Amino acid sequence: MNTPSPSESARPGSHRDREIVEARVIVTCPGRNFVTLKIVTRSGVYGLGDATLNGRELAVASYLQDHVVPNLIGRDAGRIEDVWQFLYRGAYWRRGPVTMSAIAAVDVALWDILGKMAGLPLYRLLGGRSREGALVYAHANGRDIGEASDEVGKYIEKGFLAVRAQCGVPGVKKAYGIASGGRPYEPAESELPAETVWNTPRYLETVPRLFERLRADHGNGVELLHDVHHRLTPIEAARLGRDLEPHRLFWMEDATPAENQTSFEIVRRHTVTPLAVGEVFNSIWDCKHLIENQLIDYIRTTIVHGGGITHIRRLADFAGLHQVRTGFHGATDLSPVTMGAALHFDTWVPNFGIQEYMFHAEETDAVFPHDYAFRDGRLHVGDTPGHGVDIDEALAAKYPYAPKQLPVARLEDGSMWDW
């Protein structure tokens, strides 16, 4: 039986102290929407998990509130693996971004509690430090090639060792990744999806010219990355990869949609440009073929959309067996809670590659105080027990939910395309 003996319940960290007495979902919009789960134990120690799914936030909030929270009350917060299995196997309906983001929120909150009760930062619970900091890449973009190159230069001056570059495509209105009005790029900008228009031939002409210019302006000392954002067919992606080879990219990301994992065989057969994929995956099963056949170099699935630390650790270990390294998604729609947890993971994981780092708005940082910091091209975690990210609930309450959806893309004849 689970019932602890009286002497056990008197010890700090014993079952009674770890009993979950409350779990609540906090929806807030400090600059953009975030869903956060706070799990509180009888001892008063609490943990936080991110459950944000851009443009579909309330689906995860309801999944947690209506279907998960009632199952958590009274459980032992220390049984992280059992809770994970309960929520995954026990739901009968497995996988999918809503389910896996909800499970991730619980899982990360429980790891946070474990760290706080043990008095240890998360990376130490995972197995300790493998490196001094996590190499990160920033986002540079410009309306044209010249502007994008200037932006890359600014990041190099700020100390970044790796920069993702995107530029406007002549004839394409609202190209992916390009900021408007001097504001940082944020794709979910309106209540209903913005309609964008896509033109593959113009794009395929422009991108190799962008990277030719970036190498001419900035040399080979900086790592350069590019996100295709699922727009190409496999053979088009193969051609772009080949055209980019002289410019030595760190990676070409999401070159083609990846539901059909074998489509990457076509891309791989034709190019040695390294391939990254997986920010929209939520399970090891979404990338099993890609990894075991070594069709990719970096896996981008991260903690919040991939079932938490418990599942992503399995994925990373599996990837490591096949020389695939991590390159976690880190756009602004992943909250500081995910960034904190991901950085602890990055600090430990043996097959670390790189971490994406888009800066959060000041309001976001104020709602989620954290102890990670940028230094010398890397993000460094602190030694605060747990993942080191907190929430100011009073401040969060001042920013009510504001519905926003991601854009859609169409071809010039009106056909729907992949955004």
Residue 50 near residue 105, CB atoms below 8 Å: yes
Using the rule CB under 6 A, give the single segment among 243-251, 264-272, 305-313, 326-334 that binds ligand CS2: 326-334
88 in catalytic set:
no
When asked if residue 32 is in the footprint of ligand CS2 (CB under 6 A), the reply is no
**Closest CB to Mg ion among residues 72, 148:** 148
> Closer to ligand CS2 at the Cβ: 236 or 279?
279
The dihedral region occupied by 37, where left means phi > 0, alpha psi between -120 and 50, and beta the remainder, is beta
Q: How far is the CB of 78 from ligand CS2 (least distance, A)?
A: 33
Residue 4: both structure tokens together? 């602890």
Parallel/antiparallel/unpaired status of strands 34-41 and 352-356: unpaired
Among 227, 286, 297, 390, binds ligand CS2 (CB under 6 A): 227
Site residues for ligand CS2, window 51-90 (CB under 6 A)?
Answer: 54
Choose between 122 and 207: whose C-beta lies nearer to Mg ion.
207
Stretch that binds ligand CS2, among 3-11, 101-109, 302-310, 327-335 (CB under 6 A): 327-335
Tell me the C-alpha distance between 258 and 119, whole Å.
41
Which DSSP symbol is given to 271?
-
Query: Is 229 tagged catalytic?
Result: yes
User: For residues 330-349, which are near ligand CS2 according to CB under 6 A?
Assistant: 331, 333
Q: Which of 176, 203, 298, 399 is catalytic?
A: 176
Contact 284, 318 (CB under 8 A): yes
Binding residue (CB under 5 A) for Mg ion from 19, 76, 112, 227:
227
CB 378 within 8 A of CB 136: yes
The alpha-helical segments, DSSP class H, found in 119-199 are 122-126, 145-157
Token digits of residue 243: 């055209």
Cβ proximity to ligand CS2: between 21 and 331 the closer is 331
Structural contact between residues 357 and 327, judged by C-beta atoms closer than 8 angstroms: no
Q: How far is the CB of 135 from ligand CS2 (least distance, A)?
A: 16
23/237 with CB nearer ligand CS2: 237
Hey, what are 89's tokens? Answer: 């196997």
Stretch 151-190: interaction string toward ligand CS2, x if CB under 6 A: ------------------------------------x---
Q: Which range in 114-122, 155-163, 198-206, 220-228 contacts Mg ion by CB under 5 A? A: 220-228
According to DSSP, the β-strands at 46-50 and 34-41 are antiparallel
**Interatomic CA distance for residues 231 and 339, integer angstroms:** 27
- Reported as type and span, the H/E element at residue 369 is none
Q: Which is nearer to ligand CS2, 236 or 333 (CB)?
A: 333
Q: Does 274 bind ligand CS2 (CB under 6 A)?
A: no
Report the nearest approach of Mg ion to the CB of residue 254 (Å). 5
| Nearest-angstrom CA–CA distance, 8 and 17 | 10
Nearest residue to 357 via CA among 371, 336, 376, 385: 336
Q: Do the Cβ atoms of 340 and 304 come closer than 8 Å?
A: no
Residue 356 binds ligand CS2 (CB under 6 A): yes
Task: Please give the Cα distance from 59 to 373 (Å, whole number).
Answer: 32
CB under 6 A: which stretch of 4-12, 57-65, 77-85, 325-333 binds ligand CS2? Answer: 325-333
The contact set with ligand CS2 (CB under 6 A) reads: 54, 187, 227, 229, 279, 329, 331, 333, 356, 406
Q: Which residues are catalytic?
A: 176, 229
